[in-house]
Amino acid sequence: MKETTVWVEKYRPQEFEEVVGQQNIVKRIKAFVQEKEMPHLLFAGPAGSGKTTLALIIARKLFKERWHENFLELNASDERGIDVIRQKVKNFARTKAFAGPFKIVFLDEADALTRDAQQALRRMMEQYTASCRFILSCNYSSKIIEPIQSRCAIFRFKALTEKEIEKALSNIAKEEKLKITQKAMEAISKISRGDLRKAINILQACASISKNIDEKTIYEIVEEVRPEEVKKMLSLALEGKFSEARNILMDMLLKQGLSGLDIIKAIQREIWNLNLSEESKINLVERCAEIEFRLVEGGDQFIQLEALLASFIGKK
């Protein structure tokens, strides 16, 4: 494809109604914008759920074509020290808005700010309330100090459902004139696990190869473990056919180049779909956790995964 635009930005919603899966939050935020008055905001939730998009829509609706002049966006994971808060943020927040009731400072990944930086930010949120509003975005609100949380209206974003992701992807496929099978759509939705940004990037990567996208193309691009392969491997192990199950495992590791940690996570998800007693499932999940810990600590992935596979023998 000649198109080089990043689709995540190209298809970023411009209106409140276009935001996917966060209707309750959007309704409350829209009321703030219509009144042209809002408190400091804290957006907490998983990646790709619409936190940054909603902050940008707020700025565009409040300031129209002059939103760039009244909106400061910083990624706190890159600029996380106290000096950034005291200099960049303070210099921006202390001046009057050009076109609107106040300016907006958007701190993305605010849970990466150091404790000292958060303390400085807390004081600044008090001092410049008349001229500026702060929107903080984070994955884990527990990492934000309590004084900041108490100064903000907290909105908790949820991971998008597979249906919501499929609907968004279907609209993009229509715009880009792509032919994508339903199974491929479902595969992207499962792989992205509620992250729409990841889902759109996968779709664009596949579209760069072919405009006809099927399930096989998806798994080749993302190099993810295929659920049906994991299910077959575990079924063979449960039947006592260890060598055949091991061959599938070796194929994943050597031919497909998948990592041991990815395979363990896929096994853990598939355990709940096996025809086993609840007690057996719990024991196997516990075993997965133990093997994952060993891998993280430097254990050999071949030996550890073979040992995990051996745990399934005789469980049926």
Query: Is the four-CA dihedral 284, 286, 290, 295 of positive or negative sign?
Result: positive
Sorting pLDDT into bands at 50, 70 and 90, what band is 53?
very high
Percentage above 70 pLDDT, the chain: 95
Q: How many other C-beta atoms are found inside a 10 Å radius of the C-beta of residue 181?
A: 15
Does residue 23 register a pLDDT over 50?
yes
Tokens 């410049």, residue? Answer: 128
- CA–CA separation, 316 vs 311, rounded Å? 11
**pLDDT tens-place string over residues 260-276:** 888 999 899 889 888 88
Mean pLDDT of all residues in 16-28: 90
Q: How far lies 248's CA from each of 13, 110, 312, in Å?
A: 43, 43, 15
- CA–CA separation, 270 vs 107, rounded Å? 38
Amino acid, res. 39? P
pTM, to two decimals: 0.79
Nearest to 219 by CA among 177, 176, 190: 190
Per-residue confidence (pLDDT) for residue 216, from 0 to 100: 83
pLDDT, greater one: 107 or 77: 107
Cβ atoms 76, 107 nearer than 8 A: yes
Per-residue confidence (pLDDT) for residue 209, from 0 to 100: 86
- CA–CA separation, 172 vs 227, rounded Å? 26
Residue 167, token pair as written in the block: 């609907």
Domains recognised in the chain with CATH numbers: 22-156 (3.40.50.300), 162-222 (1.10.8.60), 227-310 (1.20.272.10)
Per-residue confidence (pLDDT) for residue 288, from 0 to 100: 92
Length of the chain measured in residues: 316
**pLDDT tens-place string over residues 173-221:** 999 999 998 988 988 988 888 899 999 999 998 888 888 888 888 887 8
Does residue 118 register a pLDDT over 80?
yes
**pLDDT tens-place string over residues 55-105:** 999 999 988 888 888 898 887 666 656 666 677 777 888 877 777 788 898
Per-residue confidence (pLDDT) for residue 3, from 0 to 100: 45
Sorting pLDDT into bands at 50, 70 and 90, what band is 289?
very high
Cβ atoms 225, 252 nearer than 8 A: yes
Cβ atoms 139, 111 nearer than 8 A: yes
Mean pLDDT of all residues in 287-315: 90
Per-residue confidence (pLDDT) for residue 111, from 0 to 100: 86
Per-residue confidence (pLDDT) for residue 51, from 0 to 100: 92
CA angle 57/50/164 to nearest 5° reads 120
- CA–CA separation, 235 vs 314, rounded Å? 11
Burial of 103 (0-12, 13-18, 19+ CB in 10 A): buried
Amino acid, res. 167? K
Sorting pLDDT into bands at 50, 70 and 90, what band is 137?
very high
Mean pLDDT of all residues in 10-35: 89
Per-residue confidence (pLDDT) for residue 294, from 0 to 100: 93
Residue 92, token pair as written in the block: 């921006």
Does residue 243 register a pLDDT over 80?
yes
Per-residue confidence (pLDDT) for residue 1, from 0 to 100: 36
Mean pLDDT of the chain: 87
Tokens 């995540």, residue? Answer: 8
Does residue 313 register a pLDDT over 70?
yes
- Greatest alpha-carbon pair distance for the chain in Å reads 73
pLDDT, greater one: 219 or 53: 53
